[in-house]
Structure 1
Amino acid sequence: MHRKRAWATNDDGSAALEFITVGVILLVPLVYLVIVLGVIQEQSLGAEAAARHTARVIALASDAEAAAARGDAVLEGVAEEYGLDPDALQVSVACVPAGVDCPSSGATVTVMISARVRLPFIPAAFGLDRALSIPVEASAVQKVSRLWGAQ
């Protein structure tokens, strides 16, 4: 005769416990992934907006001093609006054709913005926040008027 113990054959209530356990194990990484993708998207849109608006302001400025001042102001405003770290932004401005003053009349201004997105909830211990950051880049091109600087 084979006797089984009652608790070994009773499955009542175990499905709910298994569902909760597996649900939590799968839900936590999924929620973190959604948060991370949202942060990356925000920073990516911020870098794109910073590049586009800075290029536009430089191209529409009346002279080089106004272009630099307005470009810095726009970059600071966009960085604040999108939560970008202004000290961590890398900005490069180039003009085509090469060899001319940048910006100059008739040139094409290219503004490139680079930033690093720090992942949420990553501690700063051992430099993990810097090691696990994701680079984001954006560029924008704007044509400068032939009459630029003539005013």
Structure 2
Amino acid sequence: MPTDTEVTPEARGEEGSATVEFVLLAALLLVPVIYFLMLTSQIQAAAYAAVAAADQSAQAMVTATDPASGSGRADAVLALTLRDYGLEPSVAQSTITCSASPCLEPGSSVSVEIAIRVPVPLLPQGLGWDAAAATVTSTSQQPVPRFG
């Protein structure tokens, strides 16, 4: 009868394999989880950026004196807001819509829609692939002040 310190011939070939199996399984399970968290955080950052950019661009537009300078201010605010969230301005498209025929007529409103394409994480962008994980949109509407 073998004692506790003796190793049986059947168990001799399995020494140390638990560590290797644990490391292999941990790597196989951890890599997709980390990739999913990266993708989710990029989509969430784009959602926050879209809301902030739409709201701030609409406010910049309605406080301008003329539509041309308002459009330029809205584009500058859009680029600044996207950079604050770690995004390049090239991934976003903005659409400005006015409710009145002269765009900044007192009492009318200005609507700004922002669409941000979220790229697939860790995919090289220079290869010509146009892959986006999601497109996040946000719309903000601001009234033009009646009395300046």
Instruction: With the length of structure 1 as denominator, give the TM-score of the two structures.
Output: 0.77
| Percent of aligned pairs sharing the same letter | 33
Q: Which moved more, 1:8-17 or 1:21-30?
A: 8-17
Residues 105 and 125 (structure 1 numbering): CA distance in 2 closer, same or farther, change over 3 Å?
closer
Report the equivalent of 2:136.
Answer: 136
- Cα deviation for residue 124 of structure 1 reads 4.5
Q: Distance in 2 between matches of 1:132 and 1:87?
A: 13
Q: Which residue of 2 aligns with 1:108?
A: 109
How far does residue 74 in structure 1 lie from its aligned partner after superposition? Answer: 1.1
Distance verdict in 2 for CA 1:127–1:68, change over 3 Å = closer
**How do 1:41-60 residues align onto structure 2 when only pairs under 5 Å count?**
41-60=44-63
Following TM superposition, by how much is the alpha carbon of 1:54 offset from its aligned partner in structure 2, in angstroms?
0.3
Query: Is 1:70–2:73 an aligned residue pair?
Result: yes
Residues 88, 35 of structure 1: alpha-carbon distance in 2 compared, 3 angstrom cutoff: closer
Q: Is the 8 A contact 2:107 2:143 kept in 1?
A: yes
CA distance in 1 between counterparts of 2:75 and 2:128 reads: 30
Superposition CA RMSD, Å: 2.5
CA distance in 2, matches of 1:143, 1:124: 39
| Structure 1 gap segments, 5+ residues each | none
Alignment equivalent of 2:87, drawn from 84, 100, 115: 84
One-letter identity of the residue aligned with 1:141? Q
Higher mean C-alpha displacement, 16-25 vs 27-36: 16-25
The 2-side partners of 1:17 and 1:86 are apart by 45
Partner of 2:17: 14
CA shift, 1:104, in A, is: 2.0
Query: Take 1:9 and 1:53, find their aligned partners in 2: how far apart are those partners?
Result: 69
Give the SS at the match of 1:113.
Answer: strand
Q: Which runs of 5+ in 2 are unaligned?
A: 1-7
Amino acid at match of 1:21: L
How far did residue 42 of structure 1 move? 1.6
